[in-house]
Chain A
Amino acid sequence: MTWGLQSASVRFGQTPALTDVTFLLEPSTVTVVVGGDGAGKSTCLRALVGLVALSTGEARRPGRRQIGYVPATGGVYPDLTVDENLAFSGGVYGERGATLLDKSSATLERFGLVDAHSRLGGHLSGGMQRKLALGMALLHQPALLVLDEPTTGIDPLSRSEMWRIISRAAAGGAAVIVTTTYVDEAQRASSVLLLEQGRVIAQGSPSSIVGAIGGTLGVAHSATRPAGLSWRWGRAWRVWAPSGPLPDGVEPLQPEFEDAVVIASMADRRGEQLDV
């Protein structure tokens, strides 16, 4: 069974929020949607789970009880305890009695929430709320896991825990889609969707995106901006020649995924260089 969006567009009044977006989500894969604020990442997920209507195109998703969705903020009832949050959302997804209790306590264990089980959702730290929301979304072992910016603002240690949970869900057979503003996280994806202003500007596995950029990348150690399309990297500059050779004094460099993402964005806005 495959889910996803097919030629999907969303408009809010006159404003296009999503334009002609297509992706497929297979079991045991992680798809990462990357983009800045306002790129259309949340709309993409909301369209997938059916929270916003498509103006054209098609969304394919499993039945409600097969979906686990965590929005960018919230997802936890602040005036319910951790136990009650798990019981409530488990119940909504059709879990009952002893099975629900077993799954709740397994979730508490797995997410390090055992000591916090009687605390109110609203009294947990931001990171713990995220974990609880994820625990609630995973309790019923959904076939499709949809996570909106699960790692924004959390530190690298919590982030690596979060990704451990995501990888476990995928290894266990779920199709997972995650949004992020951190480009380095996209390298963990089987498939990446790079969004800008509601449009897909690059799509594919991280290695295929690197392979597809074309042109030549180089590094220049100069005090001033080198000729051509360039951006800073540390004290040096990265230079991209879409066609033809690199300018004089620029050494060729093997592109990495972060470079490919900048290049894809630049290619999308060619002529404007980095004046964004």
Chain B
Amino acid sequence: MFELAETQAVTMRYGAFTAVDSVDLTVRSGEVVGLLGANGAGKTTLIRLLLGLVRPSAGVTLLFGSPPSVSGRRRVGYVPQTLGLYFDMTVRENWDFTVAAFGGGRADMPSNLSDVKDQLVGTLPLGTQRRVAFAVAFSHAPDLLVLDEPTSGVGPLGRARLWEDIRSSAEHGAGVLVTTHNMEEAEQCDRLVVMVEGRVAAEGTVGDVTGHRQVVEVRSADWKGAFEVLDAEGFVIQVHEDVLRVPSGRREVEGLLERRGVRATVTTVPANLEEAFVAVVSAGSRG
């Protein structure tokens, strides 16, 4: 594993606003790194810094060991949330244009796009557009893939298929940086970086991020009664079917329910990634 992209204490200020605050991020060959954070946490700015699309206010950015440049960007496959396709060109024209722009030879278009090759991208369903965007981004066998919310709006099989491509690229030596709001997707990454208000608030494997956090599960014949008591206390409760998951301790929850006459069984279980994320973000927010 070697570093493909790296930021060292990189900071980006827009006037008085600090979008990215002294962030160290590394993406190595062969790994899939998930970049998580609330909207406005600085994820997109960090990506723009990494690709050299904006100059940092402070700190260092390295793309393939050098300051970001056009030749470095040629080795990157980037799929923005807006897909970055030409909507008034056909699939074939999009493909040819990108392959030419990246200075590649004649790369063959994947067979799963042959049935739509002559259609205008703008007329295709969103799922198919996403498939085209991926194919185009993968066309020049990039060394670094940067994917912004890659599977938003994609069905379960389509998502599995895209992750197979992502994983296969990593196994061929590429490094992958993925931003996602989808926790199930985040769980498939080798490493996570959680940003809060421009800073890195947590990082590591899924296990590192969830750590030893625990929540309690509340089972009651009167789940509505239990929900009302605990919701009024301000807990952010997840209701799974009729089981409540509450970010609190067993004794406290038992006590609250008992005082309000709600009979329930309360057990301690490990927190899931979403619960851990909410805890990290709440703890890391300045305001």
Contact = CB atoms under 8 A, between A and B. Distances in A.
Nearest to B153: A37
Contacts of B281: 156-157
B152 interface: yes
A154 B237 contact: no
Interface in A137-192: 152-161, 163-164, 167-168, 170-171, 181-184, 187-190
Interface stretch (B11-19, B72-80, B183-191, B255-263): B183-191
A231 B241 contact: no
Interface string B153-181: 11111101101100100010000000001
Given A36-B156, A152-B153, A265-B155, A206 B241 contact: yes
Interface stretch (B46-54, B114-122, B224-232): B224-232
A75 interface: no
Contacts of A261: 156
A170 B238 CA distance: 13
A2 to B, nearest CB: 18
Contacts of B187: 234
Nearest to B36: A156
A265 B156 contact: yes
Contacts of A126: 39
Greatest chain A CB density within 10 A among B181, B182, B238, B240 is at B181
B71 interface: no
Contact of B278 (A39, A156, A190): A156
Greatest chain B CB density within 10 A among A127, A160, A262 is at A160
A274 interface: yes
Contacts of A274: 157, 160-161, 164
B267 to A, nearest CB: 17
A83 interface: no
A275 B238 contact: no
Contacts of A233: 188
A171 B181 contact: no
A171 to B, nearest CB: 4
Nearest to A263: B156
B183 A232 contact: no
A125 B38 CA distance: 13
B37 interface: yes
B227 A171 contact: yes
A275 B181 CA distance: 25
A232 B184 contact: no
A188 B157 contact: no
